[in-house]
Amino acid sequence: MSNPTAAMLVIGDEILSGRTRDANMHYLAGQLAPRGIDLREVRIVTDQHDRIVVALNALRAEYDHVFTSGGIGPTHDDITADAVAAAFGVGVDIRDDARAILAEHYTRTGLELNAARLRMARIPDGARLIDNPVSSAPGFSIGNVHVMAGVPAVFQAMVAALLPGLAAGAALYAQNLTIPRGEGEIAADLKALAEGFPELSIGCYPFQRDGAFGATVVVRGEDKTRVDAALVKLAALFPEAVA
């Protein structure tokens, strides 16, 4: 049985403009890997209705799950809920359960549940709410699409609420070794190693540190015994490597 697959769609003018460095993608990737949900693709698109619809329909047809971030706040540029509804061909309106959550929150905090804030209760028909313990305005899941906020603290809280309810896969077992040599010197041995362990994923990630080149070799696989065997071979080939 193969692992569930996933994609992420970032609705992100502020990332594409260079103003903000995305944090949610890296966070989500780190949460999915240990659950055996394979993040296969990420797309970042502008805050434009048609762009969101097209990307969402492409991704939800191809992967088991699509996680989105951004565009579900109260302002005029928050258009994700409407775009998601359009992608699914369903209606979207203020929903009583979402409104009740907001009403409780704003009563408690002494703020007004005004028209702008009520926009955050607009939920596509048939969606299930995702809890937001940080600022109350919910995310939602519809079909295999999970719609979450862009503010990192809220995104992370929604991911924490959502993931335990999704079927997990087999987490890949991973080990790595860092070799203080340029990739070009270790490439032939690595290639031979990869050919000897065709069931493993053996990646080589070069870096520069204090002017010197090095490479981190990451070995991943479902079978711990085989990953460890590959690591032993790798360590024998490069005695100067460090874990």
Which residues contact its own copies by CB under 8 A? Answer: 13-22, 25-26, 29-33, 39-47, 51, 73-77, 111, 114-117, 119-120, 134-135, 150-151, 153-154, 174, 182-188, 190-191, 194, 201-208, 213, 215, 218, 220
Yes or no: say if 195 and 170 are a contact pair by the CB < 8 Å rule.
Answer: no
Taking the least distance from each CB to its own copies, the nearer of 90 and 216 is 216
Least distance in Å: CB of 114 to its own copies? 7
Yes or no: say if 10 and 22 are a contact pair by the CB < 8 Å rule.
Answer: yes
Yes or no: say if 224 and 173 are a contact pair by the CB < 8 Å rule.
Answer: yes
Nearest to 16 by CA among 56, 45, 43: 45
Least distance in Å: CB of 50 to its own copies? 12
Q: What are 127's two structure tokens?
A: 């969606």
Sheet holding 173-179, edge to edge: 173-179, 212-221, 201-209
Least distance in Å: CB of 172 to its own copies? 8
Taking the least distance from each CB to its own copies, the nearer of 194 and 235 is 194
Least distance in Å: CB of 112 to its own copies? 8
Residue 9 three-state SS: strand
Taking the least distance from each CB to its own copies, the nearer of 21 and 89 is 21
Chain centre distance of CA 103? 30
Least distance in Å: CB of 217 to its own copies? 9
Taking the least distance from each CB to its own copies, the nearer of 46 and 107 is 46
Distance, in Å, from the CA atom of 209 to the CA atom of 211, rounded to the nearest integer, reads 5
Nearest to 71 by CA among 60, 82, 63, 62: 82
Taking the least distance from each CB to its own copies, the nearer of 4 and 150 is 150
Taking the least distance from each CB to its own copies, the nearer of 40 and 224 is 40
Instruction: Please count the other Cβ atoms lying within 10 Å of the Cβ belonging to residue 146.
Output: 25
Least distance in Å: CB of 126 to its own copies? 26
Taking the least distance from each CB to its own copies, the nearer of 100 and 128 is 100
The secondary structure of 69-104 as a DSSP string is: ES--SSSTT--HHHHHHHHHT--EEE-HHHHHHHHH
Least distance in Å: CB of 108 to its own copies? 14
